[in-house]
Each structure stands twice: as C-alpha cells, then as structure tokens.
Structure 1
Amino acid sequence: MACGSGACAAVVAGVITGRSKSKALVKLKGGILEVSWNKTANQVYLTGDAHFVFKGEVS
C-alpha cells in the first residue's frame, strides 16, 4: 500500500526546504509514485498504479 497524500506532502516540503526538485519519484511499500508540484499554480499532481485491495459491505 502507499500513502499518496504523505508522498505529496514530503515532496512539497522537500522543495520548500531545498532538498528536492519539484518532480520526484517516491518509493513506497506499495509501489513507486510520481509527484510533481507546480509552485506557481499551487497544484500537486500524483501519478501511480491503483490496485484493488479490499471488498467489504456496510450493513
């Protein structure tokens, strides 16, 4: 599994602190995510695979 919001936050924080470029690959247990931050537009883009991991029923 992967935490997309955490990956996005990590890249944005990395850019702000000068530790990352605005486009980065983030390696997580569930796979690799590509995160890019358009600082001017203040938009973060997340790209990666999606996998079905659970099926449930609410009653």
Structure 2
Amino acid sequence: MRAIGTGHIAMRVHERGVGETQSCGTGAAAAALATWWWAGQPQDQLDWRVDVPGGTVGVHIARDRVTLSGPAVIVARGEVSLPAPRG
C-alpha cells in the first residue's frame, strides 16, 4: 500500500495460496481504514479512493461501519459435481 494523496491510496493484493490478484474488497476497506486511523482519524477525510490492479474502488468510513463501492465483474464461471453424501 502507498499513499497517493489526501484520501487516496494504491495497493496490490497477494492472497495466500493464490498469489497476486486483481482486487480484494476486504483488503481495500482495511487499508483505507488503517491509513485513516494512522492519520489521526480526520473527520473531513471519510471518503477514500483505493486503486488496485483491477481498477478503483471507493471506501466510506462511518461511525459504526465501513462501506465499499465500485464496479464488479464476473471473471470466471465453473461447475463442480460432488458425490452424494454417505449414510
């Protein structure tokens, strides 16, 4: 993660067992919240822009929650057949 400007950070995502991924909503929200916290919780800086390799997401920090906004696309589809349960 690195600071770009006021309310704006960029980050890359590495997921254990997978490697680098295009985005992570939980990680983007956590990164924005941590940066805001380290900055002293400025009340005029509750909306964040987070750039990830897959695009840009928005993070809004409220008193009792953090919300994420931005585009979402399906990048893969699949099917799996599971055996019938025993017993």
Task: Calculate the TM-score normalised by the size of structure 2.
Answer: 0.60
Structure number with bigger Rg: 2
Structure 2 residue 36 is matched with structure 1 residue 15: yes
More helix by share: 1
Structure 1 residue identity aligned to 2:33: V
1:37 aligns with 2:61: yes
Q: CA deviation at 1:23?
A: 1.0
Gaps of 5+ in 1: none
Q: Give the whole-Å Cα distance in 2 for the aligned partners of 1:49 and 1:3.
A: 12
- Give the residue type in structure 1 aligned to 2:30: A
Indicate if the aligned counterparts of 1:24 and 1:34 stay in contact, CA closer than 8 A.
yes
What TM-score results when the alignment is normalised by the length of structure 1?
Answer: 0.85
Structure 2 residues without counterparts, runs of 5 or longer: 1-21, 82-87
Aligned residues: 57
Equivalent pairs: percent with the same residue?
35
